[in-house]
Chain A
Amino acid sequence: MDQRGITPLITVAIIVVVAIAVGYVLISRGGGPSENENAMVLRMIQSADANSLDVDRTKMDQAMQVIALSQDTLMTFDLNMNYIPLLAESWEIGENGAYIDFHLRHDVKFQCGEPFDANAVVYSIRRAGAPWSAQSDTVRNILDAEVLDEYTARIHLRQWDRWLYDWFAQTSSSIVCPVCGEDPAYGVSKFCGTGPFKVKEWVRDTRTTLVRNDDYKWGPEIYQNRGPAHLSGITIEIDANNLTAEEKFFRGDIDLMIGISPRPALIERLTTDPNVVHTFIYPRSSMAWIGFNVSTLSPEIQQGLKSDRPIPSGHRVSPVNDNSPWLQVDGKMTPDNANRGLLVRRALLYATNREELLLLAWENLGKIAYGPLTSLMWGYDPSVEDMYPYDLEMAKNLLAQAGYPGGSPTNFVLHLTLLTTNYEPYVKEGETLKQQWKQVGVDLEVSVRAFDDIESIIAKCEHDLVVGGYTWPNADMLWWYWHTIRVPPSPNRYWWGNAYTDEVIDNTFSYSDTVAFKAIQECQRLIMEDACYLPIVERPFLMPMRVDVKGLSVHPMSNFIWKHLDTYIEK
């Protein structure tokens, strides 16, 4: 006889409970940081993850810091930003810069055990120049790389390029293992390099786990410890929710917070907590700005006829954006148009209250930026600092001249869209500007987008303005403003239109430092006169760490070339 009451319920319950139990047993293998006690693991946390750890496929800071740990460059910077040897013991530059010869260390091994030699260098350089590579623009002036002997590699240059030379010291030029560099199946880097830490596991948007490379002994001279590192490993955890992220840090589950956005309450807490050392870094090389979509390339450049300056590889020819013709400035355009765009951009610069920006967006950390270069860069020109004071009247007049008269908070004469990632200070910059520019009748729409969307929009040249930032060692940044073959996200579609500026630009490449220095200063002035972008702040880095983290001094390049060789944790 059927005796079941509500047994179905019970059976189901039991089954599922069992399932859960089993599932739990199967699933819960501890993936947490630092299981065993004697291990010395530096636990970092940050809010966003890299989009790739393949040096030739990413431009994100988050990626660079991992790559700097897992891979090495031929040269690197010392604390005063001079070039010092790393994988290359020495190098010399061929007559008037036709080539560079790198003489490599003999004792270097890749993490996979492969020996490091000239082949590896050639492989990496060529890889960087591949059409799909994110570096292809940067290395446009490399003709080819060549193996002279096992430990000597020659890089043939199309022409002398001081910034390319500089590139060899930047993390983005890291050398990857030619053997396991490509995953045969999927053609992405296995992240195998020669660095002091090897990437054990990268779980995107979750955690990157690095373990010490015990063979490492070729650390650069800026470290007391040339390797292997004191730390047994490094974990970089991703937590977009700062509620939990900060809690972990203040409870001591995390040693180091990176890339966090300043907040009064947070700063208060950081400065008062005795267990926390917190430093603001002002890398001489990092700033935040807002870029205008200025114009498309002039026809000459599109045909490559303008000057003997080579057309870079992977150079995009972008359409004129009809939605904002007023933004186009081009030597070849009618002076009228040119003027209008110029006037508007100047007006916007005058209408910007940078002090307020610094307060609202950056909580008064960092310092105001006035020009394309940060005040500590080689070739910085102080004269840009008083070019655009906060002056609403001036702004209104300029707008009126440009054909947008009578702008006021109630009467909008101009509508613009600003693209920004959801990085907090950037969003705040946008929203604050929205309020400020209202005063002169400019209606700014802040559109928060995913990093990738922004990149794609800019690629199609469909933006008005975009918030950006860079961390860059040198005046090479200027290239960025000349034309956009440099690291996106780019502020401009812009080409200098006259012989004079051509000459100035060429001079910045000059083999002679004095000439280059002058040219660089001149360029900054020219750029600001043309108001092709809006510098905001020399970007601060919040890098709070627990007191028991020792030996971690701060490099001007921030953590983007930092290898944590001296870092250790006091037990």
Chain B
Amino acid sequence: MPEPLLKVQGLKTYFFLERGVVKAVDGVDFEMKKGEILGLVGETGCGKSVTALSILRLVQSPPGKIVEGKVIFEGEDLLKKSNEEMRKIRGTKISMIFQDPHTSLDPVFTIGYQIAEPIALHQVIEQHLMRAEEVPGKVMEMLKLVRIPDPEHRVVEYPHQFSGGMKQRAMIAMMISCNPSLLIADEPTTAVDVTIQAQILDLMRDLRQKLGTSVLLITHNLGVVAEMCDRLAVMYAGNIVEQADLKTLFEDPKHPYTSALLAAVPKVGTKKMELETIPGMVPSLITPPPGCKFHPRCPHAMDICRKEFPQMIEIDKGRLVRCHLYGGGSKK
């Protein structure tokens, strides 16, 4: 088995607030192969975005802090790197697309300038891959790549002159301009309307074909996942509760939470009138319930769930689940 591109082990990111410690990410492990699209799904506030930010080490600090864990990217632990090294990795090897294109672009700089920035910095100044005068051309190329109509004029315009979809495209252009090997997309489509969604997703898909970038797609929208991903990781209250490739997971979810999640999605062609909802609330991340964090909402909750925190167990090849239902219990 080849060395995975990204390997996250026991990642823990806490936020130290006056109200208490928020364990946003409380022990997350997963792997990504080169060129694959991994979907990270879960309810809002389950720690998806924080995981992503932790990988890039962009967690707002204070109050946030990565307390322990490993983020091994291309064989090196990012958490051990110096800030400078880390900075050089951002935008070149790993880059990230954010949820809301409206607020994520700097309103006082032209689109062109913002796209040019990383190119000029990384490729010209740091890596000497191109000369300064090539930068405009490259920018133009990127704009074309993300299919922005008449780039010659758009390049000198400001974000507020762009529509939501356009902004998101520009954002993508900006982020892939140094063709990173890992692209983290944090809810890239939630803020734009459905028609645009499709376009954005297409865009990302064939970018992946063209550039062979692997994508960590963070979303709560299983529809999107279904369209895009090769593999899925389901997150709940700061932990990954289940991992499998798309098909298996959709066909037979093991973890009660996953099934609940799937059940909550309207399926085309089913007669079922009312949707199933997941009972109860997302647990507080400051004082999570003891044992399995899902047990208060779990239909199959057993005593052990209330006492012991379940370990991840591999019930099948590349098929991981964190639940007491599947024997093993916890390691002694």
A and B touch in the complex (CB under 8 A): yes
A residues contacting B by CB (< 8 A) are 1-3
Interface residues of B in 131-172 (CB under 8 A from A): 136, 155-156
Q: For residue A11, give the distance in angstroms from its CB to the closest CB of chain B.
A: 16
Docked pose: A2 CA to B115 CA in angstroms: 12
Query: Nearest CB to that of B158 among chain A residues?
Result: A2
B109: A residues at CB distance < 8 A: 2
Task: Give the distance to chain A from B163, nearest Cβ to Cβ, in Å.
Answer: 20
Given contact pairs A2-B109, A2-B113, enumerate 10 new A-B contacts (beta carbons under 8 Å): A1-B110, A1-B112, A1-B113, A1-B116, A1-B136, A1-B155, A1-B156, A2-B110, A2-B156, A3-B113
B86-115 contacts to A (CB < 8 Å): 109-110, 112-113
Binding site for A on B (CB under 8 A): 109-110, 112-113, 116, 136, 155-156
What A residues does B112 contact at CB under 8 A?
A: 1
Residues of B within 8 A of A1 (CB): 110, 112-113, 116, 136, 155-156
Q: Quick one: closest B residue to A1, CB to CB? A: B113
Q: Summarize A's interface: helix, strand, loop or mixed.
A: loop
A3 to B113, CA, bound (A): 7
B87 to chain A, nearest CB (A): 19
Q: Write 12 A-B pairs (CB below 8 A) sorted by A numbering.
A: A1-B110, A1-B112, A1-B113, A1-B116, A1-B136, A1-B155, A1-B156, A2-B109, A2-B110, A2-B113, A2-B156, A3-B113
Contacts of B116 in A (CB 8 A): 1
Give the CA-CA distance A302 to B110 in the complex, in Å.
87
Assembled-state Cα–Cα distance A2/B157 (Å): 10
- B156 neighbours in A (Cβ, 8 Å): 1-2
Residue of A whose beta carbon sits closest to that of B155? A1
Q: How far is the CA of A3 from the CA of B110 in the complex (A)?
A: 9
Shortest CB distance B296–A (Å): 52
- How far, in Å, is B168 (CB) from chain A's closest CB? 21
Please, which residue of chain A has its CB at the minimum distance from the CB of B109? A2
Give Cα A502 to B116, complex, Å.
105
Bound-complex Cα distance A1 to B113 (A): 6
Report the separation of the CA atoms of residues A472 and B170 in the bound assembly, to the nearest whole angstrom. 91
Closest 3 CB pairs of A and B: A1-B113, A2-B110, A1-B112
A2 to B136, CA, bound (A): 12
Contacts of A2 in B (CB 8 A): 109-110, 113, 156
Question: Chain B residues near A3 (CB, 8 Å)?
Answer: 113
Complex: how many Å from CA A3 to CA B116?
A: 11
What is the distance, in angstroms, from A2's C-beta to the closest C-beta of chain B?
Answer: 5
Min CB distance A13 to B, Å, is 19
A2 to B106 alpha-carbon distance, docked (Å): 12
Give Cα distance in the complex from A183 to B7, angstroms: 96
**B159 vs chain A, min Cβ distance (A):** 12
Minimum CB–CB distance from A117 to chain B (whole Å) comes to 80
Complex Cα spacing A437 to B110, Å: 80
Taking the closest CB of chain B, its distance from the CB of A1, in whole angstroms, is 5
CB distance from B139 to the nearest CB of A (A): 8
- In the assembled complex, the CB of B113 is this many whole angstroms from the nearest CB of chain A, namely 5
